Chains A and B, each alone.
Chain A
Amino acid sequence: MRSSLHCDWARRLLHHGLLRSASLMVPGEQRAEWWREWRGELWHVRQACATAGRDAWRGEREVTAFCLGAFQDALCLRCAGLPARPRLAAITGRPAQCILILGALLAASYAIALLLPGVRAERSLWPRKVIPNLVLIQQEGSTDDSQPTIAPRLFRSWEGRKQRYFDGFAFYRVTREPVEMEPNSIGTAGKSAWGVARASSNLFMLLGLPLEFTDSSVVAADRPAVILSEKVWKRDFAADEHIAGVEVRLGQKMVRIAGVAPDGTLGLPGSVDAWQLSPDADAGSGGAGYVVAHLTPAGKAEMWTQCVHITANGPGDSEEDFLGVSLEEWKPETMTLYLFSLMLALLALPAITSVSLGEYSVNPRPTSWPRRLYRWSFLSAKIALLLPIIYFISIDLAYACSAFSRERAVYIQLVSTFVLFLFGLRWVLKDQRQRCPVCMHRVTHPAQVGQASRTFLDWNGTEMMCMGGHTLLHVPSLPTSWFGSQRWLYLNTSWNFLFAGSTRPIP
């Protein structure tokens, strides 16, 4: 008893709160009277809907629905006091306006793609191809792939012998070194630590990896050259394209940046922030490292799935077992992701909207061929503009922040492309369904007729009218066996008196 009393008070408070919130939208001079009217009506609605027992919730729902209607009324009064503003539906009402807006959106998204440094960098790094038949050699039985296992002396002994299965070796070893950037450089001034890979000078040639933003003049200069990873270039240097020649203190030495190596395409272990290429003798001294090797056709034939087992002689002719793991891995390109998302969206589209364009058949006078062609051309133009818009917007979103890693950008592009396609295509279909088949203007003035629970007409749903006076669109709220999809009613000349002020071309 007590709890039901509390519930009743809570509901009254909710309804009161809804009306009070709506009243804030009403212009000040009308607010007091508006509030008085709605409060009075609410009292009567409560009396009419008050039912006890199991149906009580239904009555409360109706009272709440009544209160929610107050927002539309308040908005109506507010809009009446403001100068008329063009609505989106009105702006895109004419076919030419709709196409112009889509065209402007395309131009804007393309311009943003040209301006964003992240997108520019991605475009310049797009042609990434890893040379096939590359393997990373590690000790067999090593439980952790990220740990270096190959001793430099072993690498030197392999390199010095003629090999049957390999025609190229490269070695690198990663050490953690402090780095200090000059305050006047373009990078973020301050101290940090980088994972620096000291690699044999043929590493990038073996990998076939293109270096970006290189400057040959700085490589030949007096200081040692380092190549930044894409991650560090974006994080510490804001993806600056004029990075070549910038000097940083790495460990005890001043070094000069010679270029940028793309991330994520190789899957090389070691968490490398910068590469320093040095003669093989230097690379070969010190602790264990990683060996990258290129397989000959005979070596390729020995590959089993993505691995090859190797037995090799060490410096003392002792036999040791190794495992070569392929470096080739699938990395999606932006266009591949785009097409994949499009396919997913096309599959998911019927779940969120009807893919039918509505019923055009109930027309006493069949529509002429030029009109039909116009209708289909308009639909095609909208789709044709939507495709590049979504492509550029998804690229803009994925690469808007230059600090994003390539993997994260791939996820952002995938999700954003899918969502944009799903709702973009839904809009295209919905917009097309609400275009008058005669003049292609959008139908307006929606009127809700009937309620499913109180049907006194044959049907309930929404009716919209072409302001050119050509058609009336019926959209059922609940599809039935006799009224499944929307229908167009073609208005004849007897309706002319309703459209006294409009020009009504003959279809």
Chain B
Amino acid sequence: MARDAKTPDTKLSHTAAMILQALDGGFIYGFSIMEMTGLPSGTVYPAMRRLERDELIRSQWEKQSIADAEQRPPRKYYKLTAQGKATLEASRRRYPLLERLIPSEEARSV
């Protein structure tokens, strides 16, 4: 049975909020999120599993042809869902510094 999707008022730890913000900032791989947030792999990957379970993010494998062209193994990347974006928006109100620590992709491109 699928779990109920979380509402924007969901309890969200600051670790989870930081990961969502990093994903929104264009850091879409587990290792790049680690580098951006300073969180260890043992925190980031389990947190992303939970966020994916709660349907706040979704994962996808990149095309094999891209990886082959760059002579490296393919990577799994993560994206925010609509629900995840709404939850992140609510978290930003709670943690105003979050956006300053990890600017979103739009903010950085301006």
Contacts and interface: CB of A to CB of B under 8 A. Distances in A.
B46 A48 contact: no
Contacts of B105: none
Interface string A278-294: 00000000000000000
B41 to A, nearest CB: 3
Contacts of A445: 13
A493 to B, nearest CB: 13
A37 interface: yes
Interface residues of B, number: 31
A179 to B, nearest CB: 64
A69 B35 contact: no
A457 B75 CA distance: 29
Nearest to A499: B11
A72 B46 contact: yes
B101 interface: yes
Interface of B: 9, 11-15, 29-31, 34-35, 38-46, 49-50, 53, 72-76, 90, 94, 101
Contact of A41 (B15, B43, B75, B90): B75
Contact of A76 (B12, B15, B49): B49
A40 B59 CA distance: 15
A73 interface: yes
Closest 6 CB pairs of A and B: A69-B41, A69-B42, A72-B42, A76-B46, A73-B45, A40-B73
A41 B38 contact: no
A43 B38 contact: no
A449 B14 contact: yes
A116 B100 CA distance: 65
A87 interface: no
Nearest to B10: A500
Contacts of A73: 41-42, 45-46, 49
B9 A39 contact: no
A75 B31 CA distance: 19
A322 interface: no
Contact of B43 (A80, A448, A498): A448
Contacts of B15: 447-449
Interface string A199-210: 000000000000
A40 B45 CA distance: 14
Counting contact residues on chain A (CB < 8 A from B), the size range is: 35 or more
A103 B76 CA distance: 51
Contacts of B13: 445, 447, 465
A45 interface: yes
Given A39-B73, A72-B46, A77-B49, 4 more contacts: A37-B76, A43-B72, A65-B40, A70-B41
A456 B42 contact: no
Nearest to B15: A447
A436 to B, nearest CB: 16
A454 B14 contact: no
A198 to B, nearest CB: 72
Main SS of the interface on chain A?
helix
Contacts of B11: 498-501
Contacts of B75: 37, 40-41, 44
B14 A498 contact: no
B42 A450 contact: no
A452 to B, nearest CB: 10
Interface in A51-92: 65-73, 75-77, 80
A43 B75 CA distance: 10
5 contacts: A44-B75, A48-B31, A68-B42, A69-B41, A70-B42
A449 B45 CA distance: 15
B73 to A, nearest CB: 4
B32 to A, nearest CB: 8
Contacts of A463: 14
A497 interface: yes
A451 interface: yes
Contacts of A41: 29-31, 75
Given A40-B74, A69-B42, A73-B42, A80 B53 contact: yes
Nearest to A501: B11
Nearest to B11: A498
Nearest to A79: B46
Contacts of B90: 497
Nearest to A463: B14
B95 to A, nearest CB: 11
Interface string A258-278: 000000000000000000000
A371 to B, nearest CB: 25
**Interface-centre pick from B14, B38, B49, B74 (highest chain A CB count, 10 A):** B38
Contacts of A40: 72-76
Given A39-B73, A40-B73, A456-B101, A451 B29 contact: no
Given A40-B75, A43-B73, A456-B101, A447 B45 contact: no
A497 B94 contact: yes
Contacts of A76: 45-46, 49-50
Nearest to B59: A37
A45 B40 contact: no
A252 B110 CA distance: 108
B12 A498 contact: yes
A497 B35 contact: no
B70 to A, nearest CB: 11
B51 to A, nearest CB: 12
B29 A48 contact: no
B22 to A, nearest CB: 12
